[in-house]
Amino acid sequence: MASLRNSVGKLWRQASCRYKSTAAPHAASTNSLPEMPPCDFKPQVHKGKSKEEILKIRKDNLIPGLLTFYKDPVYVHQGHMQYLWDTSGKRYLDLFAGIVTVSVGHCHPKVTAAAEEQMRKLWHTTNIYLHPQIHDYAEKLTSKLPGKLKIVYLTNSGSEANDLALFMARLYTGVFDAVSLRNGYHGASPYMMGVTAISSWRYNTPTGFGIQQAMNPDVFRGPWGGAHCRDSPGQTIRPCDCPEGTCQACDNYVDQLDDVLKHSLPKDKCGAFFAESIQGVGGAVQLPKDYLKKAYELVRARGGVCISDEVQTGFGRLGSHYWGFEAAGVVPDMVTMAKGMGNGYPMGAVVTTPEIAAVMGKALHFNTFGGNPVASAVGSAVLDVIDEDGTQAISADVGTYFLEELVKLRDEYEVVGDVRGKGLMIGVEMVKDKASRKPLPAEDMSAIWEDTKDMGVLFGKGGLYGNCFRIKPPMCITRADTDFAIGVMRAALDNYTKGKSV
């Protein structure tokens, strides 16, 4: 079945945007850059406001905290599958997918058609009436989840879904205190700001009452870690002498979680435990292989609810499994999701068990737009496309190839400190040198990042120190796209290295 889906996906991509597999993978400098794989799609000519006009409006009419990537921002005009075009007609390979949101491709024709068809029929009605789309979608979505995870509550975003999950966990357990991991990101709403444990996303306001954070099990930057900790083609450069089948780093990080549970929560009680299977905003930090299994055991022994944040890792992005928690070998009590769920359409959800969901019957709780007819039609089409185009198999194949090629770059360049991830959820951490693992200074990181943009590749950037390339593209990219991206990154690293040596 997987090979059939992969074949279907390849046929679709060849028909929609032809590519060559001859892109040079080893460009030595900007004098021998690889060629971007060709694409038959022709964007429309931009006829709107100029970039200068847009920048003035942004300055005058949008909040100052609105982040803009790059010194010379990309003025995006149109998208098709894995590519974006700016208003001048320049094409970019999009490796950030609208912050891990465009799952099956920009303006995928089947998803676009589903939205258009539903818009002509019914845009919106309250869910206190019956309409088919929300029910069809709920049935289809929950069929993708294991065990008793069969009750879905639809929201508009990941932050909103995580808000609701924490609320439900506290009602169900009767325990207010909960735990999340340092370096984890679960949203920037006032409620979630306390669960998120990255200082750059927190304001100096009272928040996070009842939330404790445990040590992040980061096997590259944390106190413990070795060369066999991850379920990934990208292992750390740190040595490891653990006997086969054991992981001392994992056990040490679990001990730290146990210490938090013992000292910072009510005796033998825990309301909830939040974790991503791979931390997204934190720089694609991958947890040790058995960490979540052991963490879930500790939390459940105290009556706690285990919540898997699948906002970035879900819907086949890790390749081997449909959900990140499955790759970690666990089944949570609650799953939160958003982003790729709607391929860019605002959607989020909490999926849980009937027992936990029953607590929401104690009072009225209503979401005006959650399960909106158009959103449900879009979400349903996305699920179909994931199956029909074989995007999970693409994530496994192209993602593994991408990681393997990035590991070669890590071994070639002193400033590439760590390569990690699974499928198309990839992080590259940049350092001053491998021995110290000190973060690459911001101005140096930006120089490389800006250079890759100018050469036509849009990488994400993140991590606590802003020194991580975040690679989470639409799940329709090809090996030829990967060769192009690797060639561009190599050229940018060469340019940086030469500039530092002058």
DSSP SS3 for 16? helix
pLDDT for the residue numbered 385: 98
Characterize the bridge pairing of strands 178-181 and 211-214.
parallel
The arithmetic mean of pLDDT across residues 195-218, rounded, is: 92
Res. 59: pLDDT tops 50: yes
Q: pLDDT tens for residues 468-482?
A: 999 999 999 999 999
Q: pLDDT tens for residues 217-263?
A: 999 999 999 999 999 999 999 999 898 889 999 999 999 999 999 99
CA distances from 157 to 267, 331, 346, 364 (A): 34, 22, 6, 20
HSE-up (13 A, CA, CB side) for residue 419: 23
HSE-up (13 A, CA, CB side) for residue 81: 21
pLDDT for the residue numbered 6: 46
Q: pLDDT tens for residues 293-346?
A: 999 999 999 999 999 999 999 999 999 999 999 999 999 999 999 999 999 999
Distance, CA of 116 to CA of 375 (rounded, Å): 11
Distance, CA of 249 to CA of 239 (rounded, Å): 12
Q: What is the CATH number of domain 2-104+391-501?
A: 3.90.1150.10
Q: Which are the contacts of 108, defined by CB distance < 8 A and separation ≥ 6? A: 81, 343, 385
DSSP SS3 for 154? strand
Distance, CA of 33 to CA of 25 (rounded, Å): 9
Res. 11: pLDDT tops 50: no
Distance, CA of 252 to CA of 54 (rounded, Å): 51
CA 168 to chain centre: 24
Q: Which CATH number fits domain 123-213+266-338+345-388: 3.40.640.10, 2.130.10.10, 2.40.30.10, 1.10.390.10?
A: 3.40.640.10
The confidence band for 33, taking pLDDT boundaries of 50, 70 and 90, is confident
Characterize the bridge pairing of strands 83-86 and 416-422.
unpaired
Distance, CA of 425 to CA of 458 (rounded, Å): 15
pLDDT for the residue numbered 18: 44
pLDDT for the residue numbered 7: 47
Characterize the bridge pairing of strands 425-430 and 416-422.
antiparallel
CA distances from 343 to 29, 346, 403 (A): 35, 9, 24
User: In the 8-state DSSP scheme, what is residue 431?
Assistant: B
CA 39 to chain centre: 26
The arithmetic mean of pLDDT across residues 205-216, rounded, is: 93
Q: Which are the contacts of 384, defined by CB distance < 8 A and separation ≥ 6? A: 110
The confidence band for 162, taking pLDDT boundaries of 50, 70 and 90, is very high
The confidence band for 363, taking pLDDT boundaries of 50, 70 and 90, is confident
Res. 416: pLDDT tops 60: yes
Res. 455: pLDDT tops 80: yes
The arithmetic mean of pLDDT across residues 99-121, rounded, is: 97
First-to-last C-alpha distance (Å) of the chain: 54
pTM of the model: 0.92
The arithmetic mean of pLDDT across residues 115-140, rounded, is: 94
CA 314 to chain centre: 8
List the chain domain ranges: 2-104+391-501, 123-213+266-338+345-388
Least confident segment among 12-26, 29-43, 357-371, 425-439: 12-26
Helices (H), 17-131: 51-61, 97-100, 109-121
Q: Which residue, among 1, 109, 110, 6, has the nearest Cα to 399 in the 3D structure?
A: 6
Mean pLDDT computed over every residue of the chain = 92
Res. 287: pLDDT tops 90: yes
Single-letter residue type at 408:
K
Single-letter residue type at 30:
T
Distance, CA of 475 to CA of 482 (rounded, Å): 12
Token output for 436: 């110290």
Are 117 and 132 within 8 A, CB to CB? no
Token output for 291: 């960490």
Are 351 and 108 within 8 A, CB to CB? no
Strand order in the sheet with 460-462: 416-422, 425-430, 468-471, 460-462
